[in-house]
Amino acid sequence: MTLQAWLLLLEGAWTTLWICAIAIAIGVVAGLGIALLRMARVPFLDQLLVLYVSLARATPLVTLVLFIFLTAPTMGIGMDRTTAAILALTLNTAAFNAEIWRAAFISFSREQKEAALACGMTNAVFFRRIMLPQMITSSLPGLVNEMSFLIKGSPAIAVIGIVDLTRVTNRISAVTYDPLPPILAAAVLYMLMIGVLLKLQAIAEKKANRLAM
């Protein structure tokens, strides 16, 4: 491939990376918030959140992207392609993250909370100093796994015109009539993104284990 083709692929990879990074950052925090609200068992709100999580997890990502991009203008909401792509990815990953966080809540030992409260800790201090760090450690593999799935599913945003890595690959293939080199190059770039995630996970887990000793 030519240097220009490689530069286009790197530009597409950067677009994929920063859009996914924003969706991941918001999705992890939003997922935690959803899990907390669900554990609060507020009747009507809990039913709405269950419906959202179920629909978001069951809807194909490409369908969600198209739905948000096409329906937002009909509702009087001005939304460009990039915003629609970020919103769709965020809604998708937040639903999956919510279930990962909720599983960590359910599996948490109640004895630790009882002991902390007996020592005079408030619920807020207990959650911040004891519960949340343990939840992050136990949820980390699942959260990173969901992040990697989001990156691998991100080509769905190309259907609304986002020039991501996959769309650039298709354009190069259409011009050169030789799809194999750009496809292989794109595969390597996707693997590098996910490889960095897995490396960061390993570093975080080692640090957590050292702190726990």
pLDDT (tens, 9 = 90+) of the chain, 213 residues, equals: 788 999 999 999 999 999 999 999 999 999 999 999 998 888 889 899 999 999 999 999 999 999 999 998 888 888 899 999 999 999 999 999 999 999 988 887 777 767 777 777 777 777 777 777 788 888 889 999 999 999 999 999 999 999 999 999 999 999 988 889 999 999 999 999 999 999 988 888 887 666 555
Are the C-beta atoms of residues 195 and 32 closer than 8 Å to each other? no
- Residue 181, burial from CB neighbour count under 10 angstroms (0-12, 13-18, 19+): middle
CA distances from 34 to 41, 81, 99, 158, 213 (A): 11, 26, 9, 28, 31
Going from N- to C-terminal start, the domains of the chain cover 8-212
Nearest to residue 154, comparing CAs of 33, 55, 77, 64? 64
pTM above 0.75, yes or no: yes
Q: According to CATH, what is the number of the domain 8-212?
A: 1.10.3720.10
Written as six digits, the tokens of 132 are: 């949340």
Q: Number of H helices and number of E strands within the chain?
A: 9, 0
Nearest to residue 185, comparing CAs of 196, 198, 195, 173? 173
